[in-house]
Amino acid sequence: MTKLIIILLSAVFINNYVLSRFLGICPFLGVSKKLDSATGMSLAVIFVMLMATAATWPIQTYLLTPNNLGYLQTIVFILVIAALVQLVEIVLKRYMPSLHKSLGVYLPLITTNCAVLGVTILNIDEGYTFLEAMVNSLGSGLGFFLAMVMFSGVRSTIEGCDVPKSFRGLPITLVAAAITSLSFLGFGGVVENLFA
């Protein structure tokens, strides 16, 4: 149990996917302008990360590894994720139209999101059990959510500032991201000592 909590907390705060691992920078910079789209995107990412882990972990453990097909990992995972996202979209559209309306537009964006492929590969590389892998995915998703929501707040403050001309747009956003990511450095070493 303690191990699960450590995995969860370190995925959210210390190894934050966006701010310390640099995965999923695309939606982080692109969709964080407004709070509601940031929230929608992050919820879709959490959902797809959990689904993708639930699908890829058994494939790797029971299909690829026993048959010495480990080298097919990249190609199989990206196809599974792409197919899964399509499937989720169809199912949502048919059975949960209201949820599809709020999350649907973000789903295709997630297929080529490196955070999702990253979390599935990292779960295998770290040698997690199925439960640990799911907890890690949940933590990574929550970390993504936290970073997105925090950053959309930071960005709404930048909007009203007088920024030097050459820094307008993306450059000042990146500098703001640097400061946001600085705040996450403060969590280093906290989780390991929490249960010591």
Partner 1 sequence: MNTLQNFSKGLIRENPVLVLVLGTCPTLATSTSVTNALGMGVAATVVLICSNIVISALRKVIPDKVRIPCYIVLIAGFVTMVQMLVKAFAPALDASLGIYLPLIVVNCIILGRAEMFANKNKVLDSAVDAVGMGAGFTLALVMMATIREVFGNGSFMGVPIPVLSENKISIMTMAPGGFFVFGCLIALVNKFASNKPKKEEFGCAGCPSAAVCGKLSCDGKEAAVSD
Q: Point out which residues bind partner 1 (CB under 8 A).
A: 19-26, 29-31, 33, 37, 71-75, 78-79, 82, 105-106, 108-109, 111-114, 117-118, 121-122, 125, 164-175, 177-179, 181-182, 184-185
In the bound state with partner 1, the residue whose beta carbon lies nearer, of 26 and 131, is 26
Phi, psi of 101 (to 5 degrees): -65, -40
Nearer to partner 1, 2 or 71 (CB): 71
We find the least distance from the C-beta atom of residue 68 to partner 1, in angstroms, to be 14
CA distance 155 to 38: 11
Select 179 or 196, whichever has its Cβ closest to partner 1. Answer: 179
Q: How far is the CB of 45 from partner 1 (least distance, A)?
A: 13
Beta carbon of residue 49, minimum distance to partner 1 (angstroms, whole number) = 14
- Least CB distance to partner 1 at residue 125 (A): 7
Q: Which is nearer to partner 1, 5 or 102 (CB)?
A: 102
- Residue number, 70 or 195, with CB nearest to partner 1: 70
User: What is the separation of C-alpha 41 from the centre of its chain, rounded to a whole number of angstroms?
Assistant: 10
CB of 39 to partner 1, least distance (A): 13
Contact (CB, 8 A) for 165 and 46: no
Encode the chain in three state secondary structure.
Answer: CHHHHHHHHHHHHHCCCCCCCCCCHHHHHHCCCCHHHHHHHHHHHHHHHHHHHHHHHHHHHHHHCCCCCHHHHHHHHHHHHHHHHHHHHHHHHHHCHHHHHHHHHHHHHHHCCHHHHHHHHHHHHCCCCHHHHHHHHHHHHHHHHHHHHHHHHHHHHHHCCCCCHHHCCHHHHHHHHHHHHHHHHCCCCHHHHHCC
Give min distance, CB of 83 to partner 1, in A: 9
Decide whether 97 or 195 has the Cβ nearer to partner 1: 97
